């Protein structure tokens, strides 16, 4: 398993890639990743399952999800566009944090088939984003940000439809509440968490909330929050001159030792070593 350290100076980046390999060791990273397949088939290789992708398909990789894109056949290299972004990329977008919910929810298949209207819109936006960067006309960064927002919006809309179609009546309303709870945690992760308010947003009883939260995200609420805080700390370590102590508190940790522990659990090294 390879744990990659990805630096995103502008919080997001589009790039066009080619997959030649049919076998490769899995890797993971803390960035949000979206793969838009353009030409030939690719095997989305995950730790517990493989998915066959065809041109026009879109695949969403969650943070810290082990994966690799492999060509289905060595004689047919696959071409795709990769969008990598930091969670902080959505800050300028009104209600942007709701767009992150699909990346932190595990009970849906994040493979959007090419015949979906959302997949087509995502592909068009990604192709235009790459073209903007290549042409580098005045204001291309603004246009690319708009295309990034379009990609996230269509993933979110697809995700909501999948959530609602898999349940009905009261269950569907409960899922809407859980999405609101997850959005609130993502938005306010650096603040002291008022868990009673989060549970209220979910429209569930306390025990049911914790059970459902773990089903949706694969984590307890505390682990979920700490993961968000560590991800934000990584952004500050790479892009600021703040001290380790300042970063710990800015990220929402109430002590440096607690911050160091969770950071080392996630990355295997202390924040100071990671920064070097």
CATH number at residue 205: 1.10.10.60
Q: Cα Rg for the chain, rounded, in angstroms?
A: 19
Does residue 7 form part of some domain?
A: no
Does residue 2 form part of some domain?
A: no
Which percentage of the chain shows pLDDT scores above 90?
49
Does residue 194 form part of some domain?
A: yes
Residue 152 shares a structural domain with residue 201: no
Contact at 8 Å (CB) between 133 and 144? yes
Residue 158 shares a structural domain with residue 26: yes
Residue 106 shares a structural domain with residue 205: no
**What mean pLDDT comes out for the span 214-219?**
84
CA distance linking residue 69 with residue 80, whole number of Å = 10
Residue 138 shares a structural domain with residue 81: yes
CA 31 to chain centre: 6
Provide the b/e sequence for 157-171 (b: ≥16 CB within 10 Å).
ebbbebbeeeeeeee
Tokens of 163: 């959530």
Q: So what's the pLDDT on residue 172?
A: 42
Residue 199 shares a structural domain with residue 217: yes
- Give the pLDDT confidence of 144-164 residue by residue, as tens digits: 999 999 999 999 999 988 877
CA distance linking residue 145 with residue 125, whole number of Å = 10
Out of 103-112, 121-130, 191-200, 218-227, the most confident range is 121-130
Residue 194 shares a structural domain with residue 134: no
Does residue 226 form part of some domain?
A: yes
Residue 36 shares a structural domain with residue 120: yes
Contact at 8 Å (CB) between 122 and 135? no
CA distance linking residue 237 with residue 258, whole number of Å = 17
The last residue of a domain, from among 166, 190, 214: 166
The last residue of a domain, from among 166, 196, 221: 166
Q: Counting beta carbons within 10 angstroms of the beta carbon of residue 189, is it exposed (0 to 12), middle (13 to 18) or buried (19 or more)?
A: buried
CA distance linking residue 218 with residue 238, whole number of Å = 27
CATH number at residue 91: 2.60.120.280
Residue 22 shares a structural domain with residue 111: yes
Contact at 8 Å (CB) between 247 and 234? no
Going by pLDDT thresholds of 50, 70 and 90, the confidence category of residue 188 is confident
Does residue 266 form part of some domain?
A: yes
Comparing 6 with 1, which gets the higher pLDDT?
A: 6
| Domain encompassing residue 53 | 12-166
Q: So what's the pLDDT on residue 253?
A: 95
Q: So what's the pLDDT on residue 8?
A: 66
CA distance linking residue 230 with residue 217, whole number of Å = 17
Instruction: Tell me how many domains the chain contains.
Output: 2
Least confident window among 40-49, 52-61, 168-177:
168-177
Q: So what's the pLDDT on residue 167?
A: 60
Comparing 55 with 96, which gets the higher pLDDT?
A: 55
**What mean pLDDT comes out for the span 13-27?**
84
Comparing 219 with 119, which gets the higher pLDDT?
A: 119
Residue 112 shares a structural domain with residue 195: no
Residue 237 shares a structural domain with residue 111: no
Phi then psi dihedrals of residue 184, to 5 deg = -65, -40
Least confident window among 22-31, 122-131, 222-231:
22-31
Residue 110 shares a structural domain with residue 16: yes
């Amino acid at each position: 398993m390879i744990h990659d350290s990805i630096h995103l100076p502008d919080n997001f980046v589009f790039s066009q890639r080619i997959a030649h390999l049919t076998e490769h060791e899995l890797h993971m990273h803390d960035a949000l990743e979206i793969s838009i397949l353009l030409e030939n088939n690719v095997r989305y290789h995950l730790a517990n399952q493989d998915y066959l992708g065809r041109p026009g398909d879109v695949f969403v990789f969650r943070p810290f999800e082990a994966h690799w894109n492999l060509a289905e056949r060595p004689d047919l290299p696959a071409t795709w566009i990769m969008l990598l972004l930091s969670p902080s990329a959505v800050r300028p977008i009104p209600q942007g944090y709701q767009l992150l919910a699909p990346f932190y929810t595990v009970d849906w298949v994040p493979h959007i088939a090419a015949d979906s209207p959302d997949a087509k819109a995502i592909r068009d936006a990604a192709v235009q984003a790459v073209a903007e960067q290549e042409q580098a006309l005045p204001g291309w960064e603004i246009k690319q940000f708009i295309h990034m927002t379009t990609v996230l919006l269509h993933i979110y809309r697809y995700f909501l439809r999948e959530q609602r179609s898999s349940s009905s009546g009261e269950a569907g309303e409960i899922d809407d509440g859980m999405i609101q709870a997850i959005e609130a945690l993502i938005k306010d992760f650096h603040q002291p968490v008022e868990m009673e308010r989060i549970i209220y947003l979910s429209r569930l009883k306390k025990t049911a909330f914790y059970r459902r939260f773990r089903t949706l995200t694969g984590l307890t609420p505390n682990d979920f929050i700490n993961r968000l805080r560590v991800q934000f700390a990584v952004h500050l370590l790479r892009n600021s001159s703040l001290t380790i102590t300042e970063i710990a508190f800015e990220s929402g940790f109430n002590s440096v030792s607690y911050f160091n522990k969770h950071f080392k659990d996630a990355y295997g090294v202390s924040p100071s070593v990671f920064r070097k």
